[in-house]
Every structure is written in C-alpha cells, then in structure tokens.
Structure 1
Amino acid sequence: MTYVPTALTLYLVATTTWLAWSMASLAACAAGAVAAVLIFYERVFPGLDPAAGPSELPPAWPIEIGAISVVLVVAWAVGAAVRWKRATTAALVRHLSEAVVADERRRIARELHDVIGHSMSLIAVKATVANHVADARPQEARAALAVIEETSRSTLTEIHRVIGLLRSDGDPQQAHLPVPGMADLPKLAADARSAGVDVHLTVNGETEPPPGVAMSIYRIVQQALTNVVTHAAPTRCTVTVDIDGREAAIEVLDDGPTHGRPPRAGPGGHGLIGMRERVKLYGGTFSAGPRPEGGFRVAARLPYNANGAGT
C-alpha cells in the first residue's frame, strides 16, 4: 500500500508524456522500489521485534517486490492505454475536421465556378452584341449594356455572399443573403433569352423542395444554360423540372448551334463535373451528351427525403 501514491503518479506520467519518458519513469520507480525492499530486509527487518502471532503470509522480499512491480506496471499500462486512446481520438477528430474543411472548400469552389461562369458567359455575349451594333443600332447596344450592368451587380452580390462564407467562419452575426432557389429559375431563363437562347422553362410539382435541394436544382440549371449560351447560342432550349416530394428530375435540351458553328465536344469540363458532384451528394443519377437529332442533353435526378438529405 505504501507504493499506491507512486502508482498514481506513474499513471499520470504515462497519460501525459511520451512513451519513452513514461517507460523510463516506470523503470526508475521499479528500481527504487526493489532497492527499498532489499535494504529494508537487509538492515531494518532483522532488528524488529518478532510478531506476537503467526501471520497468514510470512515476510518474504520476493513476494513484496512482485506485488509492488505488478501494481506499478498495471498503473503504467492503464495510463499508456488512456494516452493512446486520447491520441487516437484527437487524430480522428483532426482528420474529420480536415475532411469537412476540404468538402467546404470544394463546395465554395463549385459555387464560385457556377456564379462566375454563368455571369461571365452572359456578359461576354452581350458585350459582343453591343460592340457589333453600337453604331448601327444604338438602342440595342444600350439594352445589351443594361443587361451587362444588371448581371454584373447580381454577380457581385452572389460573390460577396460566397466570400462571406469564408470570412464569417460560423459567426452568427455575419449577415448572409438568401441562397438562390426555385423562385430564381425564371430569371435564369430570362438571362439566357437576353443572350440569344429561346428558353422554354417548365416546372412541374406543387411541393417545394428543401432549401439544399432547391439550390442544387438552381445551380444545375444555371450551369446547363451557361453551357448552352457558351457553346450553342443562338438556339432553342427546353428546361423541365419535375418535383414530386421524393425526387427532383431535371432535363435541359438544346437544338445545337443554328449559325453553322461546329457541334460541341463530348462531356467534359468543370461545369459538367460540378453538376455531377452535386447530383452525387444526393445519390442521384446524372447524364450529359449529344442528342442523336442534334444538340445536347443534360439530365439529372436528385432523390431526397423530408429533411433534404439524399436517399
């Protein structure tokens, strides 16, 4: 029992220091205990008065050294196991935190890609129109410049919102602008029409999807229309969104270039990759490729439950 405080101290050392230091402490404590027991039996024990009665366990230094060693080793082993568990848990938490940060960075990168890609494509098209008709049709040039101005402002607003996600770091006092959703789809169609794409938008379903699903629908349609404006305008395009409360189905069809430009290449680019990743988050399906009759087709299905999570 004399060595119980030593065992507790050894446990504390094993839980707070490196393994080499704790093993050295164990060796030092064991050596000190062995030396103390041997000195006691050699110099102190012979001078003590004999016991008044027989004991259940006769005095013997091997037994005492063995018992003390077991107590010290058990205390050290428990402390080392606790330290290993703490280190493993901390490493796991750190790994999960890094994974969350990486996912958030990829999400923000997709947001910026969708926002900037769509807006810059529209601005580039309208700037080209304004440059070509500035002298002959100034009214049309001014209309194109008005679209550029409105698109630039809305783009800056969205960029500020996305950048705010990086700056706020979870600060509840940081004001966030509303994220885009189903109600913003008509504006996407109007922007594409102003860039020379005859867009027919159809949204079927009375149930409103959860905010996360609605934003994913918006981004997929936005990127699909951006590709149509970039690669096929002027052309005709049909956008269909079907929502039944359990799944959102998106289909974007275009007729291809109508002014002699070569057809676009096969699937590729960051836009299609971003759409595919958004669909993958919900465990849905995604396909994109040329149509046999000409043009391009983008189709996606996003299954979800009442909480907005993928199924």
Structure 2
Amino acid sequence: MFASNPPPAWIAVAQLLAVVVAAAAILLFRRRRPWLLVFVAWLVCLVVYPFGSTDVLPMLLALYALAVYGSARAAWIAFAGSVAVAAASSYLAVWAHAGGTVAPFGADAPSSASQFAVIMLIATLIGVTVGNRRRYLKALIERAHDLARERDQQAQLATALERSRIAREMHDIVSHSLTVMVTLADGSAATIDRNPERAAEAMRHVAETGRAALVDMRRMLGVLAEPGTSTESLAPQPGTAALPELVERFRAAGLPVQLTTAGAPIGDPNLQLTVYRIVQEGLTNALRYAATARLVDVAVSHADGIVQVDVIDDAAAASTSGVVGGGNGLVGMRERVALYGGVLEAGPGTVRGWRLHAELRADEASPNSEDVA
C-alpha cells in the first residue's frame, strides 16, 4: 500500500483476491501454458498496482514456470517484458496518487521499478538454472530410450540375419540330401527287377546320404544349442577339401561329374564353406533338372585372392525328376556371394545345358559373414 492515504479495505481485499487467483492459476497451468500465465500476471500487476501496493508475486511465479517448463530464451524475453510492466505499474501508481510513494518499499517510481527488476531477475535466474537441469535430465532420459530402441532394433536385425543364415544352411543340407536320396531311390526302384545288386547298392547310398544329412543336422543344431550343452556334434563345416567326397556322392547317384581345381585354396573357412555350398547347390540342381546330361563339369580356381566356381552341364534340355524346387537355392547362393563382394551368374550355356558361374573376392569379406562352428 502507499505511505499515506491507505486505500479502503474492500480494495485491499480485492487486490489480495486477484493476486491469489492469479497465483493459483499459475500453479495449475504452469506446465501447459506458461506464456499465457505470464500475460495474466502482467495484467494483474497493471490492474491491481495503482489501487494499493504493487505485488509482483504472480510475475515471479510465471517467470519461474516459463524458465522451467519453457526455455531459457523465452524466460529472458518474459523478464524484459516484466521489467517494463513493473515500471509502468509504478508510474501508474504515482500518477493515480500524486505525491505518494509506492509500497512496500516506500520509494518513488524509478526506485520501486529497479527493486522489482532485481527481485524478478533472481526468480528468472533460479528458474533458468532449474529448467536447464531439468531439460538436461530429460535429454539424458530420451537418449537412454533411443539407445534402448536402437539396441532392440540391432537385436532384431541380428536375429533376422541369423534366421536367414540358418535357413540357407538348412536348405543346402536338406535339399541336397533329399534330392540325392530321391534320385537314388527312383533308380533303385527302376532296376530292382533287372539288377537287384545295383538296386541294393543304390539303397546303401541312400542310407549313407541320410546318415550324412543327419550328421550335418546335428552339427547345425549343435551350433544353436545353449551354452554349456554337449559339444560332441560341433565339428568343422565342410570346405574345399570335402569337394571330392561331395562329387563322389553325386557320381553314386548317377550324375557324371568331373571336378577340376587350380591354385592353392584360400585358408578362410567361411570362404571355403561358401565355395562348397555353391558347388553343392549347382550339382543338386543338375541332378534335378539335367537328367540327360552326359557331363557336368565343376571347376574351382584360386588366384590372387579371387575364387572362381563354375558348374556347367551339357544337358539337351532341362527336365525334372519328380522333385520340384522352391527357388530358394539361387537366392541363398546370391546372398553368400554378396558377402564376399562377388558376382553370380546363372543361365543357359553358350551352346546347350546350364552354366553357373560365381566369383568371390577373399579380401572383400563382409563383417556379417557367418562364423563356422
């Protein structure tokens, strides 16, 4: 209130009620509408100030709320506006009561405005400090959530890649073995009356192929086993050294295969496994669709860190032998070759038959290339 001629009691009560209402509104809506509350505090200060004493409590609360729940820049802008509003209210009070002083400091308008500015500066500094710390903690929490989401996405991606790898291996194992077994079983059924001994030999090859497939399946399941379980089935995956044995199995199934190798094999077991699977898939497709082939030529050459694989047959026309593929073999081969920055070509030969050509670069192995158990 003023130093002389105190206002009537109803004016003091109205002033107190307006200040309380403004402060309550600031406390209730400080998080959602801080700027609106600043304007309300300015209005209360301009309306109430000339009738009694100035009360900047609503502006102090509004500045603090804006600095905490808004931004530091917005708080300093509101502080400048609040200083102007407090100065205007002080001069309005002096004009309304000429000769009086502005309560509660008992000073003239300039002195009162400067003192209010200091009080609002303290409230703004406190709010900016608390707000910056709050925003910093919020940023840390959001960063932690982003890292958690990124970790989950990486885990899902790794799971998808591992599923793709396992699907390729399962296709290579099951498709190759079943194709050989079906072909041998068909041949055995066709010759059992004319040549029982040959039919029995074919069935023995069927049994051997089945056992080999079971060994490969156990090896694959052993890779998927939980840590601490038995590792008896964790044998090395086949490499280029196993190509002659692979070729012999197809010869036993009636496929005329000729294997030619050149150069010293590259020691990378992943690359050797890729070469083995490409040859295996090429011969499996030849056994399925090139039943009339008189020769299937398999050539593997190593030179200057580059491995070239060719599987070429001279069949007159593609034919099926009762086994229909799902088209996953070629996709799997392309994925394997892509891991080594290579190229894969599959299509009709220049004269007849089918040609499969793959080129792999040992020095461009992808970091996502699979581990060999």
Instruction: Give the TM-score category using the shorter length.
Output: 0.7 to 0.9
Q: Does 1:144 align with 2:202?
A: yes
The alpha-carbon deviation at position 216 of structure 1 amounts to 0.2
C-alpha separation in 1, matches of 2:261 and 2:367: 21
Q: Does 1:255 align with 2:310?
A: no
Tell me the equivalent position of 2:353: 295
The alpha-carbon deviation at position 282 of structure 1 amounts to 1.2
One-letter identity of the residue aligned with 2:204: A
The alpha-carbon deviation at position 135 of structure 1 amounts to 2.5
8 Å contact 1:241–1:249 — kept in the other structure? yes
Q: Residues 90, 174 of structure 1: CA spacing in aligned structure 2 closer, same or farther, 3 A cutoff?
A: farther
Tell me the equivalent position of 1:99: 157
Gapped regions of structure 1 (runs ≥ 5): 1-22, 38-45, 47-56
* SS of equivalent residue, structure 2 residue 267: coil
Measured on the aligned residues, the alpha-carbon RMSD in Å equals 2.9
Matches within 5 A, 1:1-311: 34=61, 60-168=118-226, 171=227, 174-175=230-231, 176-235=234-293, 236-257=295-316, 262-263=317-318, 269-305=327-363
* SS of equivalent residue, structure 1 residue 110: helix
8 Å contact 1:209–1:308 — kept in the other structure? no
TM-score (norm 1): 0.75
Q: Residues 308, 72 of structure 1: CA spacing in aligned structure 2 closer, same or farther, 3 A cutoff?
A: closer
Q: Residues 90, 309 of structure 1: CA spacing in aligned structure 2 closer, same or farther, 3 A cutoff?
A: closer
8 Å contact 1:116–1:155 — kept in the other structure? yes
C-alpha separation in 2, matches of 1:214 and 1:308: 15
C-alpha separation in 1, matches of 2:332 and 2:119: 74
Q: Residues 292, 244 of structure 1: CA spacing in aligned structure 2 closer, same or farther, 3 A cutoff?
A: closer
8 Å contact 1:213–1:308 — kept in the other structure? no
Q: Residues 190, 80 of structure 1: CA spacing in aligned structure 2 closer, same or farther, 3 A cutoff?
A: same
The alpha-carbon deviation at position 157 of structure 1 amounts to 0.9
Q: Residues 220, 307 of structure 1: CA spacing in aligned structure 2 closer, same or farther, 3 A cutoff?
A: closer
Q: Residues 103, 211 of structure 1: CA spacing in aligned structure 2 closer, same or farther, 3 A cutoff?
A: same
The alpha-carbon deviation at position 136 of structure 1 amounts to 2.2
* SS of equivalent residue, structure 2 residue 157: helix
* SS of equivalent residue, structure 2 residue 225: helix
C-alpha separation in 2, matches of 1:108 and 1:290: 30
The alpha-carbon deviation at position 207 of structure 1 amounts to 3.9
C-alpha separation in 2, matches of 1:63 and 1:306: 63
C-alpha separation in 2, matches of 1:303 and 1:254: 25
C-alpha separation in 2, matches of 1:110 and 1:248: 21
C-alpha separation in 1, matches of 2:148 and 2:166: 27
Stretch of structure 1 that moved more, 206-215 or 71-80? 206-215
Deviations 1:150-191 (A, max 9, x none): 0000001111222233333xx265521211111110111111
* SS of equivalent residue, structure 1 residue 197: coil
Tell me the equivalent position of 2:41: none
Deviations 1:233-262 (A, max 9, x none): 3521000001125111000110115xxxx4
The alpha-carbon deviation at position 127 of structure 1 amounts to 0.3
C-alpha separation in 2, matches of 1:65 and 1:309: 56
Q: Which has the higher contact order (CA 8 A, sep 6+)?
A: 1
Tell me the equivalent position of 2:72: none
C-alpha separation in 1, matches of 2:313 and 2:228: 43
Gapped regions of structure 2 (runs ≥ 5): 1-30, 35-57, 65-103, 105-113, 321-325, 369-373
Deviations 1:31-71 (A, max 9, x none): 9x949x9xxxxxxxx9xxxxxxxxxx979431221111111
8 Å contact 1:211–1:308 — kept in the other structure? no
C-alpha separation in 2, matches of 1:212 and 1:220: 12
One-letter identity of the residue aligned with 1:242: S
The alpha-carbon deviation at position 309 of structure 1 amounts to 6.1
Instruction: Tell me the number of residue pairs that the alignment of Structure 1 and Structure 2 aligns.
Output: 257
One-letter identity of the residue aligned with 2:314: D
C-alpha separation in 1, matches of 2:145 and 2:223: 31
8 Å contact 2:238–2:276 — kept in the other structure? yes
Q: Residues 302, 264 of structure 1: CA spacing in aligned structure 2 closer, same or farther, 3 A cutoff?
A: farther
